Structure 1
Amino acid sequence: MSAPRHSTPEAFLDALYAHVPRAWVTTALVAINFLVFAATAVQADALWHIPGSLLADWGGNYAVQTREGQLWRLFTGLFLHGGLLHVALNMLALYQAGQLAERLFGPRRFTLIYVAAGLVASVASVWWRPNGLSIGASGAIFGVFGALLSHVLVTRTSLPPDTFRRLRKALVIFIGYSLIAGLVLPGIDNAAHVGGLISGVLLGAGLAVPVGDARVPRVRFAGALAVVALAAGTLWFVTPPVRPALTQSFAFNAVAAQVAEREEQLVQRYHFLADALRQGQIDDAAAVDILDRELIPAWRQLEDEVATGGQGDWRAGPLLRYLAARREALEALEMAIQTHQRRWIERSNALQARADEYLLDYRMLLAPGGDGRRHAEFRGRSRKVRMAGGGRGAYRGLLNPVGREA
């Protein structure tokens, strides 16, 4: 590059902060991610593990739905995280790398890199796991780190030698360690990481100019953008998945069988509770205690078991959606008993109906492969709970047990 070299690290930092005094895009991205996580955590009533079914409902990159035309999931999945540790580590990396990248590239070019790398990462995830659920900002963050590495290499003659060596070493170590961790640790979407990284490297090389120089070489940038778009289009339209369309595991078969048996027991337990309420054998406080201490935690435990035992198995996602809806319906029923408000009864009814739809979808997904018979013991059928009128105990005598024929 023809730009003069900054003589000292201090001079380089002065030029960096003069170029972009405040990294407001990075701050906004971190804030949005934390706000979205807080909302999902409140709905899930959990901090460390957000169920996959809820994340799919919120716009997670569930490959099956994305392939069916819900392309917006490629973007919305970038703002969803599976737990407090997940979002905290991602946002720490984004804040540290984003502060530097936004000042090197400028707010608009930084935003372009982040969004484009994130979208390519989502496409790579769908290609690699055609029946998986991908969430998290890490693909976009890898793009930021890749862009930083390209910027350091392309503009090295304008950097103080010590600054160039330290930045290059730190970036290579972080990228290498993160990729190795993705290969060793379970549950990490390395396809998204690699897709985001490569996109960031290419876009960073196309957009890199010395600090303070606003002239981006158009030909170089157009070439980088074209390569990124071609790669993403190839993954989406041309290249077949590298894994079988339906990845199934024997471990999940055992988990699903156990869940089906316990689901039937929970449905029967609910029958007893509903009968006892209708006949006045227990009061509201006892019913709430059973829901709060026994039934709701039991359904949540089923979700956790499926999420743990079904990693990598395409059937886990649809089953989790059903279990979560059933649990949320009981939570709404608990609120109805506590408050005697019609809106909670209506919400419980709606969630029960949604659970029935999810269970039907699950069975239909299994039917072509012949697995529908294996899970036919899932009971799941429900009838609506109706309010006979206002006032205390208005729901009594009108509780219709889940799973009984009308």
Structure 2
Amino acid sequence: MCATGANALRPDPAALVAWGSNFAPYTLDGEPWRLLTGAFVHIGFPHLLSNMVVLLLLGRTTERLYGNLRFLALYLFAAVSGGIVSILMHPGVNSAGASGAIFGVAGALLAFVLRYRKELPAELAARNRRAMLVFILYSLYRGLVQHGVDNAAHFGGLVGGVLIGALLARPLTEEARERSSRPSAIAATTAAVLFLAALSWPLTHLNPDRLQEASFDRLLIELQPAQKKTLADVIAWSHSRIASQIERDAASNRIITQLLPEWDAMYAKVESAPLPPGSRYVPLRATMLRYLDDNRRMYRLAAVLLAHPQELDAAAFAPIRALAKDAHAQIDEIKRLAPQLRGNPARR
């Protein structure tokens, strides 16, 4: 991600989507692989580091108990089950991170020490059981009280890990492990298929209103590159020389042929985006439209004034100053409204 210009500490939503985060408008629109790849995308290096430390602490013991292939299977299944539950609970969240799969590892370790507690040393079984319960309960509680944490993915990964872990777990003695290896693999595979099949119907029949809001979140992400380009073009235009009338005419023409179409295109996309009546996104869309319209009108007036320098006086600039002031006010309102909605990235 960093090699493509993404911020190493806090990549923007567009970068997360480009690298495979789990976001319902994309996942349910022909990109189901995001249910898995979302577990390998992280919202910055600190997020990645914290997840890998926890995975190292939990994974070493769990991998020894299950074996390499079974550990890999339960890890990947927990990642997918966490991704599915994340979409079912809040399709407007742009989710990324490995902690759903890590919760699956914790659930599998808990399932093992509960199922084979008599084969493990009593102190070891009790210590791991307490540690997993504390980790699970504390982490779920922290996800409830902390903003920007995808607790649904945690819960989905936990359920998936407990389910598949309980079925994949084998006794510790070599002979018993060999004897139960094939039946346990068949049982786990059957349960995984049935579990995913049971979730497939609600996953493909989400509430239309929630999907419309999620699609609006997708639009906000997809508008980011266009907005950055437009602002870069505005900055480049502001450095244009306008000493002569020829230069003023060129600057005016650049507004008409380049800047205004860019503002108009963004306005049209936001205006045409459907939202359910009473949606919390309606005030944000109205504010965005006002901001975009302020800029359209402001640059249209600037183009006229540059082409007719005889009209350049203090009164002629007053409407432009008023529109610029209102546009800045709308930016402040957008910054206030946007974090309250669900389209921001969520760690898991």
- After TM superposition, the score normalised by the length of structure 1 is 0.56
Match of 2:195 in 1: 231
Instruction: Describe the shift of the 1:61–1:89 C-alpha distance in structure 2 as closer, same or farther (beyond 3 A).
Output: same
1:186 corresponds to 2:147: yes
Counterpart mapping for 1:9-48 below 5 A = 38-39=2-3, 43-44=5-6, 46-48=7-9
TM-fit CA distance, 1:172:
1.1
Match of 1:245 in 2: 210
Amino acid at match of 2:222: R
Distance in 2 between residues matched to 1:153 and 1:84, nearest whole Å:
35
Distance in 2 between residues matched to 1:159 and 1:356, nearest whole Å:
68
Amino acid at match of 1:144: V
TM-fit CA distance, 1:314:
6.2
TM-fit CA distance, 1:222:
3.4
Tell me if the contact between 2:113 and 2:128 (Cα under 8 Å) persists in the aligned partners.
yes
TM-fit CA distance, 1:102:
1.6
Structure with the larger RCO, 1 or 2 (CA within 8 Å, 6+ apart): 2
Tell me if the contact between 1:61 and 1:134 (Cα under 8 Å) persists in the aligned partners.
yes
Tell me if the contact between 1:61 and 1:74 (Cα under 8 Å) persists in the aligned partners.
yes
Select 2:13's aligned residue among 46, 52, 57. 52
Select 2:223's aligned residue among 322, 325, 339. 322
**CA-to-aligned-CA distance 1:68-112 (integer Å, 9 cap, x gap):** 221111121111111232212111111111112222111111110
Select 2:81's aligned residue among 105, 116, 120. 120
TM-fit CA distance, 1:54:
1.5
Distance in 1 between residues matched to 2:262 and 2:64, nearest whole Å:
47
Tell me if the contact between 1:206 and 1:222 (Cα under 8 Å) persists in the aligned partners.
no
Amino acid at match of 2:83: S
Instruction: Describe the shift of the 1:138–1:242 C-alpha distance in structure 2 as closer, same or farther (beyond 3 A).
Output: farther
Counterpart mapping for 1:4-403 below 5 A = 38-39=2-3, 43-44=5-6, 46-211=7-172, 213=174, 214-215=177-178, 216-238=180-202, 241=206, 245=210, 315-327=216-228, 361-366=269-274, 375-377=288-290, 378=292
Instruction: Describe the shift of the 1:87–1:106 C-alpha distance in structure 2 as closer, same or farther (beyond 3 A).
Output: same
Of all paired residues, the percent bearing the same amino acid is: 35
Instruction: Describe the shift of the 1:162–1:318 C-alpha distance in structure 2 as closer, same or farther (beyond 3 A).
Output: same
Tell me if the contact between 1:121 and 1:140 (Cα under 8 Å) persists in the aligned partners.
yes
The alignment of Structure 1 onto Structure 2 pairs a total of residues equal to 262
Distance in 2 between residues matched to 1:122 and 1:67, nearest whole Å:
12
Tell me if the contact between 1:78 and 1:136 (Cα under 8 Å) persists in the aligned partners.
yes
**CA-to-aligned-CA distance 1:241-280 (integer Å, 9 cap, x gap):** 58951586xxxxxxxxxxxxxxxxxxxxxxxxxxxxxxxx
Unaligned runs of 5+ in 1: 1-35, 249-312, 335-352, 382-406
Secondary structure of 2:289 counterpart: coil
Distance in 1 between residues matched to 2:64 and 2:263, nearest whole Å:
48
Distance in 1 between residues matched to 2:169 and 2:102, nearest whole Å:
17
**CA-to-aligned-CA distance 1:4-36 (integer Å, 9 cap, x gap):** xxxxxxxxxxxxxxxxxxxxxxxxxxxxxxxx5
Instruction: Describe the shift of the 1:368–1:193 C-alpha distance in structure 2 as closer, same or farther (beyond 3 A).
Output: closer
Amino acid at match of 1:143: G
Instruction: Describe the shift of the 1:357–1:236 C-alpha distance in structure 2 as closer, same or farther (beyond 3 A).
Output: farther
Distance in 2 between residues matched to 1:85 and 1:366, nearest whole Å:
37
Instruction: Describe the shift of the 1:154–1:134 C-alpha distance in structure 2 as closer, same or farther (beyond 3 A).
Output: same
Tell me if the contact between 1:127 and 1:236 (Cα under 8 Å) persists in the aligned partners.
no
TM-fit CA distance, 1:161:
1.4
Match of 1:280 in 2: none
Distance in 2 between residues matched to 1:166 and 1:225, nearest whole Å:
30
Tell me if the contact between 1:48 and 1:84 (Cα under 8 Å) persists in the aligned partners.
yes
Tell me if the contact between 1:150 and 1:201 (Cα under 8 Å) persists in the aligned partners.
yes
> Which deviates the most, 72-81 or 233-242?
233-242
Tell me if the contact between 1:143 and 1:201 (Cα under 8 Å) persists in the aligned partners.
yes
Match of 2:257 in 1: none
Amino acid at match of 2:162: V
Instruction: Describe the shift of the 1:98–1:358 C-alpha distance in structure 2 as closer, same or farther (beyond 3 A).
Output: farther
TM-fit CA distance, 1:124:
0.9
Instruction: Describe the shift of the 1:128–1:229 C-alpha distance in structure 2 as closer, same or farther (beyond 3 A).
Output: farther
Distance in 2 between residues matched to 1:57 and 1:361, nearest whole Å:
20
